[in-house]
Amino acid sequence: MRRIDCARIREAVTAELVRINREIGPDVLSALESGLRTEESPVGRSVLGQLIENDHIAAREGRAICQDTGMVVAFVTLGQEVHLTGGSFREALDGAVRDAYREARLRNSVVRDPLFDRSNTGDNTPAVLHLDLVPGDGLTIDLMAKGFGSENMSALAMLSPAEGEEGVRRLVVDTVRKAGPNPCPPVIVGVGLGGTFEQAALLSKKALFRPLGEPSPDPRYAALEASLLADINRLGIGPAGLGGRITSLAVHIETGPTHIASIPAAVNISCHASRHGRVIL
Ligand code: SF4
């Protein structure tokens, strides 16, 4: 049995949340730079240049990449041999969000209730927490600061098996088309296929954690990812929705077994400010 103190978790998660709000990942930066080289539209190139400059300034000056500092999502993979000590995991996680957003002066973007009390919680808590229990004594926390301009443009459909690959293609491309400029393109498109209604949504969110440039390990889905990316980039939405070819930097598909009667299909969109990181303890 390995002991991990909750104070240590809080400290490590705080540091990572501050970092991801200031430093865009090298995978995203390199995809933006590659987009700058291939974008045909002069306006699109200008937007991509500004996004890259913004990311450099944020990292250099310790400023937030975007004013929408997002809602924190944590995918926690906890080994069954771990004994958490010194408090509750939930309090460590929310404490880290509180500390990070205060320390780095990040905007608090969370309200208490979706309908009847939209007052700000004042510290960006609570985080959204997903837990996976695995063998072993490790603890991995994948973190995302998820902006909602893009979250709002996400979609889910319970497709019939007969709709097949074509149905999935239609859903993904139509979702990006309808979103237009709203999710702050160039976007990253996470697609979750399979499981149940809620599992598909989780898979689509997980897909956004995969480093850009890393295709699905299944060659059939890797080919579908590449083909969907090409279709999306023919829509003409372009950087910031001002026209051009670079509407999306990547399409990632994650899958799981599902029921004989369905293809649950979810599309979760991330903006170019795709802020994600990992804590391993
Ligand atoms: S969707 Fe992304 S880039 Fe757009 S405002 Fe929100 S965090 Fe910023």
Residues 156 and 263 reside in one and the same domain? yes
Beta 263-270 vs 155-159: how paired, if at all?
antiparallel
What pLDDT is attached to residue 213?
87
Nearest atom in ligand 1 to the alpha carbon of residue 183 is: 1
Asked if 247 and 182 count as a contact pair (C-beta separation under 8 A), the reply is no
State which of 103, 118, 146 marks the end of a domain: 146
In a domain, 59, yes or no: no
pLDDT digits (tens, 9 = 90+) for 239-261: 999 999 999 999 999 999 999 99
Number of domains in the chain: 2
Question: What is the distance in A from the centroid of ligand 1 to the CA of 10?
Answer: 26
CA distances for 184 relative to 46, 80, 273, angstroms: 15, 40, 9
- Angle at CA of residue 250, ends 247 and 255, nearest 5°: 130
In a domain, 58, yes or no: no
Output the pTM of the full model: 0.96
Beta 128-134 vs 71-79: how paired, if at all?
parallel
Determine the average pLDDT of the residues in 99-108. 97
Ligand 1 contacts (CB < 6 A) are 66, 68, 70, 147, 149-150, 183-184, 271, 273
The CA R_g of the chain, rounded to the nearest whole Å, is 19
Question: What is the distance in A from the centroid of ligand 1 to the CA of 248?
Answer: 14
Nearest-CA residue for ligand 1 atom 4 is 184
Which residue shows structure tokens 């937030």?
A: 64
With CA atoms as reference, report the closest residue to 242 among 2, 36, 45: 45
pLDDT digits (tens, 9 = 90+) for 8-37: 999 999 999 999 999 999 999 999 999 999
Residues 173 and 184 reside in one and the same domain? yes
pLDDT digits (tens, 9 = 90+) for 80-95: 999 999 999 999 999 9
Residues 138 and 208 reside in one and the same domain? no
Mutate-to-test residue for ligand 1 from 150, 153, 270, highest number of ligand atoms within 8 A of CB: 150
And the tokens for 198?
Answer: 């809620």
Whole domain around residue 231: which residue ranges? Answer: 149-274
State which of 128, 146, 164 marks the end of a domain: 146
Nearest-CA residue for ligand 1 atom 5 is 68
